[in-house]
Structure 1
Amino acid sequence: MSLPVSVKDSPVAKMMIDELIVRKKKVEKLERTRNQTGISLFILLIGLLFFGFDWTGYGLLGLPIHVKGSFGMLLFVCAAAGVARLMHVTKKTDKADHEFEELREELIQRSEDFWKDDHNWKQRETIFKQLVERYDINLFHR
């Protein structure tokens, strides 16, 4: 998890970078979960449209559809649970992304304090390049 270039002069910077990597991985995992949930919900809704509803007669809110038996009701309940899960995962993803961005901006702001002289400033550039290449975390600008 840690970078090959060590942050010798500033253990606080190393802790912040490590935490930034952990938060980035958490955001990516939640985004994958959100995408998978959305795709599953879409497939479930398509199944509900084709196999869960009977399109003859008047049943649901005066529309010419009604739910087909227990299978249709099961699909409907699963779709409702899928919508609730998608909303929950989206909320968690947004919160994790916001926390990641806050820490990233704090590290950018404090980078001048962590790497003061020229040698350390070159080390900073190396570390930031590695973060972009390995973890897709850009700390060069806000």
Structure 2
Amino acid sequence: MESPISTLDNRTDMATKKMLENLVKRKRKFDDFKFKHEMSIFGTITLSIIMFVYLYFTIIKNYSFSFASMFSAYANNSNHLWLLMGSVGMFGLMNLLKEKREKAEKEFHNLRCEIIDKSKDLWKKEEEWKNRHLVYEMMKDHYDINLYHENK
């Protein structure tokens, strides 16, 4: 269990601590997919620029007098096919990671909203209810998770 969550002593019960722990795991999963998606965007753009610059200087500039000669020069070198497949593959990876990121974000947001909705049940006692803002502040400071409002 995370150390800030485990130090919540009498402010929360064990079930609430587990819910908060699960929320932190989902947040980390979302952040991980977000980072991977952003890196795939960067990789796709970089590889595409390299491919177009390479093709411009090796094919378009030398064979611009005829489309047939450009296509023939492109098809004669297998490296061009590998560059094209790499770019298309990076584009596919980028889209796959975008879907996974959106799914992880939805799971994280749904669990966060569930904790907000059930806050009256999770902090039933009067003393716990008055101290729940300390739990909310800890989650905001340590994990950048806002439990005050449902909207992002």
**TM-score under structure 1 length normalisation:** 0.88
Correspondences of 1:1-142 after superposition (within 5 Å): 1-2=2-3, 3=5, 4-6=7-9, 9-52=12-55, 54-55=59-60, 56=64, 57-59=66-68, 66=71, 67=74, 69-142=77-150
Give the aligned CA root-mean-square deviation in angstroms: 1.9
Matched residue type, 1:58: F
Q: Which runs of 5+ in 1 are unaligned?
A: none
Partner amino acid, structure 2, of 1:136: D
The count of corresponding residues between Structure 1 and Structure 2 is: 138
- Cα 1:123–1:8, aligned 2, differ >3 Å: closer, same or farther? closer
Mark the structure with the bigger radius of gyration: 2
- Using CA pairs under 8 Å that are at least 6 residues apart, name the structure with larger relative contact order, 1 or 2: 2
Equivalents in 2 of 1:7, 1:103: separation in Å?
23
Query: Any unmatched runs of 5+ in structure 2?
Result: none
More helix by share: 2
State the identity as a percent.
24
Query: In structure 1, what is the Cα distance between the partners aligned to 2:86 and 2:10?
Result: 50
Partner SS for 1:138:
coil
